[in-house]
Amino acid sequence: MSTLDHTQASELFSAYWDEELSSEQTAVLEEHLGSCLSCRQEYQEFEQMLGAAATLPQELAPPNFVAGAVKRVHRRSRGRFFRVRRLGERIPYELFSLLMLGLILAVYLMLQLNQPGRLNLP
Amino acid sequence: MTALRERRLLRRLQRHDENAFQEFVRLYQHQVFNLVLRMLGNRAEAEDVAQDVFVTVFKSIESFRGESKISTWLYRIAMNQCQNRIKYLSRRPTVRSDVLVESSTAPQAAGPEAQLRGRQLEGLVQEAIAELDEEHRMLIVLRDIEELAYQEICSITGLPEGTVKSRLHRARLALREHVKKRGG
Ligand SMILES: [Zn+2]
């Protein structure tokens, strides 16, 4: 590739803008841009347009955005999503079930002891 | 955000820590809102979709394994939801574009004439972006507005790098045509 026509030149605009051309391609394109007024103008406009795109002001989320998102998570999960509250802030089911298990075991052992003939414990 | 800070926040998110969620939304709200607004062109729709993006993030945080940056993953979810909303809106075309209403007010250092020209061009570019087809718009938004690296754009779109580059080039030429039509 030693010289370019207008179409070949404009095909390189993106890669040139992104600095992705090899040094050889860059030199060939720059040579064409140096000698071809219409491509030079085309590239200038291409460059200005992308420059304008890059400097578009950032649009900010509305002020209540964070609260809105949190509310939405709560609503969609019916309040179940966020971490289970710590023990003490709620009924301690774990403790409760342990106590129940202990109670059942105690009752069972007492029943067994009341029937000495059938006791199979080691 | 540093990689360490990101991992810490991620761990807290995976524990369903509400404060971590608030912190996360606060950190990324403007980026996500801006991205979604550029894609949809309507503030009310953009707010709705952007909030849904964060809900989805939180619902699927367990499945995030950290193989990409959080922001890449967030952008991928955002783009998916934008595409769904665009599809949905195309069936009921009553939503107006209002992206231009409050924008183009950024202060510029150049003289009044260049300033006017710059602002005019910005306005034209915004209008022209809204006219692009969905995929072209997505690539322009990711590369030329958000200025992401090609590798990141590949993870977001799932397209190979060569495809991203050639389609982006088409997108830029299409944008140029739309801007020209509007006198820019
Ligand atoms: Zn030429």
Tell me if B93 is assigned to some domain.
Answer: yes
- Residues B64 and B10 placed together within one structural domain of the fold: yes
Q: Quote the pLDDT of residue B80.
A: 96
Tell me if B85 is assigned to some domain.
Answer: yes
Tell me if B44 is assigned to some domain.
Answer: yes
Phi and psi at residue B115, in whole multiples of 5°? -60, -45
- Residues B4 and B83 placed together within one structural domain of the fold: yes
pTM given for the model: 0.79
Mutate to test the interface with B, among A17, A58, A78 (most CBs of B within 10 A): A58
d(CA B116, CA B121): 8
Q: Which of residues 85-114 of A touch B (CB under 8 A)?
A: none
Q: Quote the pLDDT of residue B110.
A: 60
- Residues B1 and B92 placed together within one structural domain of the fold: yes
- Residues B66 and B142 placed together within one structural domain of the fold: no
- Read off the pLDDT of residues A37-51 as tens digits, 9 standing for 90 and up: 999 999 999 999 999
d(CA B132, CA B140): 9
Ligand 1 centroid from CA B169, angstroms: 18
pLDDT 10s per residue in chain B (184 long)?
Answer: 788 888 899 899 988 899 999 999 999 999 999 999 999 999 999 999 999 999 999 888 888 887 888 889 999 999 999 999 999 988 876 666 776 544 444 444 567 677 767 778 899 999 999 999 999 999 999 999 999 999 999 999 999 999 999 999 999 999 999 999 988 7
- Residues B88 and B115 placed together within one structural domain of the fold: no
A53 has a pLDDT exceeding 50: yes
* DSSP line for A97-112: HHHHHHHHHHHHHHHH
The CATH number of the domain holding residue B119 is: 1.10.10.10
- Residues B3 and B65 placed together within one structural domain of the fold: yes
Q: Quote the pLDDT of residue B102.
A: 44
Confidence label for A119 from pLDDT (cuts 50, 70 and 90): low
d(CA B96, CA B42): 7
Ligand 1 centroid from CA A32, angstroms: 6
Q: Quote the pLDDT of residue B114.
A: 74
Last residue of a domain, one of B51, B68, B98: B98
- Residues B150 and B61 placed together within one structural domain of the fold: no
- Residues B88 and B131 placed together within one structural domain of the fold: no
- CB distance from B23 to chain A under 8 Å? no
- Residues B44 and B84 placed together within one structural domain of the fold: yes
Q: Which of residues 63-82 of B touch A (CB under 8 A)?
A: none
Q: Quote the pLDDT of residue A84.
A: 54
Give, in degrees to the nearest 5, the angle at Cα A33 between A29 and A36. 130
- CB distance from B57 to chain A under 8 Å? no
Range of the domain at B70: 1-98
- Residues B92 and B137 placed together within one structural domain of the fold: no
CB contact under 8 A, A52 and B15: no
Tell me if B160 is assigned to some domain.
Answer: yes
Find how far residue B151's CA is from the centre of its chain. Answer: 16
- Read off the pLDDT of residues B73-115 as tens digits, 9 standing for 90 and up: 999 999 999 999 999 988 876 666 776 544 444 444 567 677 7
Q: Quote the pLDDT of residue B103.
A: 45
Residue A86, Cβ density class (10 Å: 0-12 exposed, 13-18 middle, ≥19 buried):
exposed
- Residues B80 and B51 placed together within one structural domain of the fold: yes
- Read off the pLDDT of residues A69-118 as tens digits, 9 standing for 90 and up: 999 998 888 777 776 554 444 556 777 888 999 999 999 999 988 875 55
Token pair belonging to B2: 């540093």
